[in-house]
Amino acid sequence: MRPVWAVFWKELRSFYGFGWMAWLGLLVALAFGPLQSLKMGADGYLVTSLLATFMGIWILLSISFYYERTQGSFLMLLSSPLTVKEIFLGKYLAIFLVAYLVHLVALAISAWVIWSTFAVLPPLSLLPLLFITIPIYGFIFMELLGLAYALLGNISYLWLIIIIIIPFLGTLYQIMPFLNLFISNPILSIGSGILLALLLLFIINKIPKERMVMVLS
């Protein structure tokens, strides 16, 4: 695990070099959910968790890949003895840590806003979803972005893939019973998320370094 932590600390130190637009983006991710809570009441907890987690990860990972590509540091990592899994896992852990902190602060602000406005606290049954399930699937989202970057050289292509897949998922009312069962069962949703995260980590480790160098050069 020592190489993973080396990449982890390198990634954390690189956050200091991010420009003001990166921190402005994080501020938006931090504030947007609590602002929505003023209108949504108790539903604002769920909205805040989703927005802060996924927006934070999207912003941090996009800027991280942009800086590393312009400075050539990612290609240097690929030329090192580190495995692909060690490189990406180190990056993932650093970005997830910062995004999770943003998520916690956003939830704390939303809790204050909702309690001050509506005098409503989240039900206990919602806590596993807010603090465990959504962050796990945020991590999976980050892995999908990393996979798109490793294979295609641009994480924006992931949105095209999602748009192509959506019509095949069926209408919303057809999948809602499954989603409700999935969300209401923490063991099922958390266990499935952990297995999927491990599977994606296994898949990205199988991508040859040579292919990534060719795509990113």
* Model confidence pLDDT, tens digit, residues 46-98: 888 888 888 889 888 888 888 887 777 888 888 888 888 999 999 999 999 99
What's the pLDDT band for 116 if we cut at 50, 70, 90? confident
- The predicted model gives 188-193 an average pLDDT of 90
CB 28 within 8 A of CB 55: yes
Q: Which comes out higher in pLDDT, residue 149 or 180?
A: 149
- Mean of per-residue pLDDT scores for the chain: 82
180 to each of 129, 172, 184, 188, how far by Cα in Å?
A: 12, 12, 6, 12
- Distance from C-alpha of 198 to C-alpha of 129, rounded to nearest angstrom: 20
- Distance from C-alpha of 143 to C-alpha of 178, rounded to nearest angstrom: 24
Phi and psi based region of residue 170 (left: phi greater than 0; alpha: psi -120 to 50; beta: remaining): left
Specify the DSSP element, H or E, that contains 125.
Answer: none
How high is the pLDDT of residue 184?
73
Single pTM value for the model = 0.87
How high is the pLDDT of residue 215?
81
Q: Which comes out higher in pLDDT, residue 78 or 143?
A: 143
- Distance from C-alpha of 201 to C-alpha of 30, rounded to nearest angstrom: 28
> Which range has highest mean pLDDT (1-10, 38-47, 196-205)?
196-205
147 to each of 66, 88, 139, 173, 207, how far by Cα in Å?
A: 15, 9, 12, 30, 9
How high is the pLDDT of residue 173?
45
How high is the pLDDT of residue 114?
86
| Residue 17 in tokens | 């070099």
What's the pLDDT band for 19 if we cut at 50, 70, 90? low
What's the pLDDT band for 182 if we cut at 50, 70, 90? low
CA angle 191, 192, 195 (to 5 degrees): 85
Q: Which comes out higher in pLDDT, residue 168 or 96?
A: 96
Give the chain's domain count: 1
- The predicted model gives 18-22 an average pLDDT of 64
Full residue range of the structural domain in which residue 190 is found: 2-216
